[in-house]
Structure 1
């Protein structure tokens, strides 16, 4: 079985990865880090993957996310999924596509627990820009929701 961590480099995703890494020591399960990269420059900017004047290079973003994930979970397997551009550039559509891909990968990987960093997962309100609410509702796997980064989160420079 596998522990899956959708990872976008945010402090909550980094905290979720750290918790999955800790859990894997006790459960003896593989940690898989999943980064889903849409072919959408605006989405990349909203996630802080590229600056306002930088071109979006998904390969460079993937390399950066892989390096950041390895700082937290050096033995985890890193998986990148690319999403092709849709005719619509609505952020909600990109988020829906990312959610769908996370669920597909969870099924492919035979996931036992999904570790997700989300301020919104599991709440009654479901913002259109959060993948957490949609992914956390799948009954095929358990879900560990991380709503607060730890004080020693490496992405915050407080190791």
Structure 2
């Protein structure tokens, strides 16, 4: 089985990837980061992948996402899918989930600050991914070291200025 991490380059996605790596090292699991990259500028701007007046180079964004994954999880696999449209969150989640299911995940590690709350925004991709019952979901809400004694904290991630 495999730990899968939907990865968009955000701080919480990084935290989820790091947590997956921490657990994988103890449980001897593989880690796969999956990204769906719409070819629309609006989405890229909303994700912070490009600035307001910046042109959108999809290949460059994919390269940056791959580099982020490799920096935090050198042994992880990175897979992505380019899509032409800027779909609603539920369709985007469907693309992510399909990529995840290709790896028969035992656990999907989600970086989200709103999955599982009583009031959940309908625009959350995580809500749709967490709804699938074919795998367990580990929600990472904060970029902080694990609180499980048997899990060794990632050596570089938690000391960075842009985390926690």
1:61–1:140 CA distance, 2 compared to 1 (3 A)? same
For normalisation by structure 2, the TM-score amounts to 0.86
Which structure 2 residues correspond to residues 42-53 of structure 1 after superposition, within 5 A? 42-53=42-53
Structure 1: tracts of 5 or more residues without a match: none
Aligned to 2:153: none
Which structure 2 residues correspond to residues 2-151 of structure 1 after superposition, within 5 A? 2-85=2-85, 93-150=87-144
CA contact (8 A) 2:5 2:13 kept: yes
- State the shift of 1:107 in Å: 1.9
Q: Deviations over 1:33-82 (max 9, x none)?
A: 11110122101101100011111111100100111111110110000111
- State the shift of 1:154 in Å: 4.6
Instruction: State the secondary structure of the residue aligned to 2:53.
Output: coil
CA contact (8 A) 1:122 1:132 kept: no
Question: Over aligned residue pairs, what C-alpha RMSD do you find?
Answer: 1.8
For normalisation by structure 1, the TM-score amounts to 0.88
Which of structure 1's runs of 4+ aligned residues deviate more than 4 A? none
Aligned residues: 152
Aligned to 2:162: 156
CA contact (8 A) 1:123 1:133 kept: no
